[in-house]
Each structure stands twice: as structure tokens, then as C-alpha cells.
Amino acid sequence: MSPKSSIVYVCSNCDAQYPKWIGRCNQCGKFGTVANDPISISRPSVTRSQTAGPAEVISLGGLVNNQVKKQPTGLAEVDRVLGGGLAAGGVVLLTGEPGIGKSTLLLGLAAQSEGPALYVSGEESAEQVSGRLKRLGASGDKLSFTTAHQIEAIAASVRQLRPSLVVIDSLQTMMSDEVATAGGSPTQLRAVLSGLVALAKDTAAAVVVIGHVTKQGVAAGPKAVEHLVDVVLSLEGEPQQDLRFLRANKNRFGATDEVGVFQMRSGGLQEVANPSALFLAERHKGAGSCITALMEGSRSLLVEVQALVTRSRLAQPKRATTGFDFNRLQMLLAVLSERAGVRTAWSDVYVNLAGGFRSREPALDLAVCTAVASAFFKKALPNDLVVWGEVGLGGEVRPVAGLERRLQEAARLGFKQILTANLPAEVKVPASLAVAEMKHLTEVVEWVR
């Protein structure tokens, strides 16, 4: 049977297809992006004689002990987030706000790579990249550079040079000859990234791609971009501050709950060996300040929770958070009011995680409630106190995971008192710590008062 064909009009921005031309795309809302000339899509008819034969299959039993080869990046914080280093043949997508330090981080990784590396820049010239390399204090002897935009030319260079690491800066500036749309369009992004994935698997090179973000802070382009790659990293932080946090939103080679902490210096991004001490260096020792222990992957971090409760002049009091979930704060304030008698209905409440840190861990619940109660009663908490625990809708205080690591981190930094839920009998408490076990939020409020 002859193949069937359909005539469609395609949007150059989001690839939406329409049976007739329209002036405004219904999917992305843009005007003038639907092509005036239709294209023909062939749909071959499938008959029984055309069905494919069985695919080649293998037994996984003999591959159980085979491990993916990884190369260390030279930065322990990056290796922690990646799960041990860059995987050979893996593709990593790094996203972040403009000016957050993505190019600086990857240029440093490429410059200190154990093997040869190729840096592809579609946004900066060789002089600009060389100037940044000098500021980083790296020689770049093993680093090759190109400003090519065509993915086919880049693939030919990779097959010729055989680098162990390829950095693409950035995905939105690359183009493929196989697609006729403009650079940065969803079709181009998928074509370029598909070519990079095939190139990585073919040459066993680790490929790291910088991607732009939208106003909402997510990776720009179709969702297929994140599905195609092996690892999705995000570099977070406030541009006005020097702290940067590297997180994994997707990782086929390791966990996604680790976080890397860096400081932006004149010489580039520097690793922070002791994040807890850095977060607490300028802590506020007064009412509304509470120290908590959070688990980020395999390690515990001590972070300051700050709360401010002030009389509201508005008909509807204001609530604002930085680094903490807003809806979670609303729920905790309701529990404090109904279960523990801390009435904040006529007060503005502000909660902040100091240092620009962000977390959604349930262990923050008790620390937030304690900080709000401290600010409400204008009573400062002991300077050597650490608080953690989950709070339920009934006001009950529940234990959380990673108790021994939290206790050890608190003892290491010289804290003496712990306020938390009942500890299991098997948990070993350091001799320097005194633990106050709470069952209900009312006990915590009375303790603060």
C-alpha cells in the first residue's frame, strides 16, 4: 500500500501542528510563528509483511558487576552531587540564572580535567574565555576551544580530538543542519541534544551542556530536553550574595538529594569545606532565631531559621518566606494557633533561612514553629540549642530520619542542647548533648515561654 500523507502547518516556536494556517499559536500564544507554507508528513501504512523482526536482546546477569566509569572533576562538592564524578558517555544539563556562575564553574572543571577537554562557546570569544581562565589561575594546557555553532562540525571535532570532557556553552546557541527552524526553537533544541547524546554514547566522552532558564527558574525549552539527558543540575543562589548551591534534579548515576556549596570569589567558585560554620558565622542571637539541623543527602547542615512577628496594619495580615515553603508556613501557623495557643491571626509573620539556603525538609517544621513562638513572645532561645522535628496537624511532634548524623554535627560545632521528638532507644546521643524530647507543640511553646 502507498503511504498516506497529511498537510500540516507548524509553529516555529513550540512545534505545535495545525490542519490549517492560523495567525496566533494556541499552544504558546505567540503571533506570526505558524509557517505560511504547509509541510507534508508521510504516514506509511503498516501491513503484516512489513512488521519488523525481533530486536537483539542480552542477559543482564553478566553485567551486574560492571560499573559505569566515572572521572573525578577535581571538586569534591561537584563529585558529591554527581555521585562520584562525570560518567563516561553521560550527558549533563546545567541550568541557572544569568550571572550565577555556570560558565565559570564548567570552565574550571574543563581546565583541570584529567584528560583532554573541549570547550565549545557560542556566546563568548576566545579572548573572553582566555581572560576568565587567567582569573581562575588555570593553565588550560589540555583544553581545546572552538566557537562553532553547528552540532555536526562539533561532532566531527570530538571524533578527531577524542576528548574525555566536552562542555557546550550553551544549548540555545547551537544548531543542527537537519532542522530548518531558527536556533533556540524547540525543534532545534531537541535535534541538538539528540545529536549530543548520540555523540556521547559513541565516543564515551562526558558531555556537559549549559542551558538557559525561564522566568520560573526551570530549564528553558520543551520538557523533552530534561528527559533526554542523564543528569540535570541547577546552580542556585542570589546574585547579590556570594553563596552558590549545586543540586541535582535528575541523576541516572546517583542520588538527587545531595547539595554542593560554593562561594563566588575573584578566583572563581571556591568549595566550602564546612558549610554549617559558614551559615552560622553571622547568626542573630536574639528573639526569633533558631538553629536547626537539615539532612542534605549524606551529610547534615546546621542552618539558622529566622522569624519576625509584628502587629499588622492590614485587614489581611502578611506572610512571607525566603527559602521555606509558603504553604507549609500557612499550615504551621494554623497549627500553632489552634493547637498551641500562639495567635498570629492579627500579626504579620516573616520566615527566612539565613544564607540564601532553600529546603523543603519536614525537619524544619519544629524549628520554624519554635522561631515563630520565640518572636511572638519576644523570648530569645539559648545560643547552644538546636531544634528539629516534623509537626502534624494535630500538633504532634514526629521524629525524622538521620538522627545520629544531626546529633554528631551539632556536637561537632559545640552545641549543648537538642529540642526534638522522642528519640528511638537505639540512637546514640553524644555525651556533650542534653536532649529535651517533646511529644506535642504545646510542650514546645511552654518551653519557649
Please identify, among 272, 289, 318, the residue that sits at the C-terminal boundary of a domain: 272
Whether 203 is in a domain gets the answer yes
pLDDT for position 65: 63
Contact between 36 and 21 (Cβ < 8 Å): yes
pLDDT for position 61: 77
Residues 210 and 325 in one domain: no
Q: What span, in angstroms and rounded, lies between the C-alpha atoms of 8 and 29? A: 18
Q: Give the CB-side neighbour count of residue 59, counting CA atoms within 13 A.
A: 2
Residues 239 and 388 in one domain: no
Q: What span, in angstroms and rounded, lies between the C-alpha atoms of 96 and 246? A: 10
Contact between 102 and 167 (Cβ < 8 Å): no
Residues in contact with 239: Cβ distance below 8 Å, sequence separation at least 6, in sequence order: 97, 99, 100
pLDDT for position 114: 87
Residues 258 and 308 in one domain: no
**Burial zone of 405 (CB within 10 Å; 0-12 exposed, 13-18 middle, 19+ buried):** middle
What type of residue is 309? V
Contact between 229 and 92 (Cβ < 8 Å): yes
pLDDT for position 102: 94
Whether 336 is in a domain gets the answer yes
Whether 440 is in a domain gets the answer yes
Residues 199 and 293 in one domain: no
pLDDT for position 33: 81
Q: Which of 311, 376, 306 is nearest to 347 (CA)?
A: 311
Contact between 34 and 26 (Cβ < 8 Å): no
CATH assignment of the domain containing 378: 3.30.230.10
pLDDT for position 42: 62
Residues 421 and 391 in one domain: yes
pLDDT in tens, the chain (449 residues): 445 567 888 887 777 888 899 999 888 888 888 888 887 766 655 555 566 788 888 887 777 666 788 999 989 999 999 999 999 999 999 999 998 999 999 999 999 998 999 999 999 999 999 999 998 888 888 899 999 999 999 999 999 999 999 999 989 999 998 887 777 888 889 899 999 999 999 999 999 999 998 777 777 777 888 999 999 999 998 777 788 999 999 999 988 888 999 999 888 889 998 899 988 988 888 999 999 999 988 889 999 999 999 999 998 999 999 999 999 999 999 999 999 999 999 999 999 999 888 999 999 999 999 999 999 999 999 999 999 999 999 999 999 999 999 999 999 999 999 999 999 999 999 999 999 999 999 999 999 98
Residues 82 and 34 in one domain: no
Residues 101 and 165 in one domain: yes
Mutual orientation of helices 441-448 and 364-377 as an angle, nearest 10°?
40
DSSP state of 175: B
**Domain count of the fold of the chain:** 3
Whether 254 is in a domain gets the answer yes
Residues 267 and 291 in one domain: no
Q: How many CB atoms neighbour CB 304 within 10 A?
A: 22
Q: What span, in angstroms and rounded, lies between the C-alpha atoms of 345 and 350? A: 13
pLDDT for position 44: 59
- Residue 114 sits in which domain range? 70-272
Whether 56 is in a domain gets the answer no
pLDDT for position 325: 96
Contact between 93 and 229 (Cβ < 8 Å): yes
Write the DSSP string, 78-96.
HHHHHTSSEETT-EEEEEE
Please identify, among 208, 243, 272, the residue that sits at the C-terminal boundary of a domain: 272
Q: Which helix (H) or strand (E) holds 387?
A: strand 385-387
Q: Which three cell numbers stand for residue 380?
A: 530569645
Residues 116 and 232 in one domain: yes
Residues 129 and 88 in one domain: yes
Q: What span, in angstroms and rounded, lies between the C-alpha atoms of 193 and 211? A: 11
pLDDT for position 186: 82
Q: How many CB atoms neighbour CB 46 within 10 A?
A: 10
pLDDT for position 72: 93
Q: Which of 363, 359, 418 is nearest to 389 (CA)?
A: 363
Peptide bond into 170 cis (omega under 30): yes
Residues 262 and 295 in one domain: no
Residues 305 and 436 in one domain: yes
Write the DSSP string, 309-334.
EEE--SSS--EEEESS-HHHHHHHHH
pTM: 0.82
Please identify, among 272, 298, 320, the residue that sits at the C-terminal boundary of a domain: 272
Whether 50 is in a domain gets the answer no
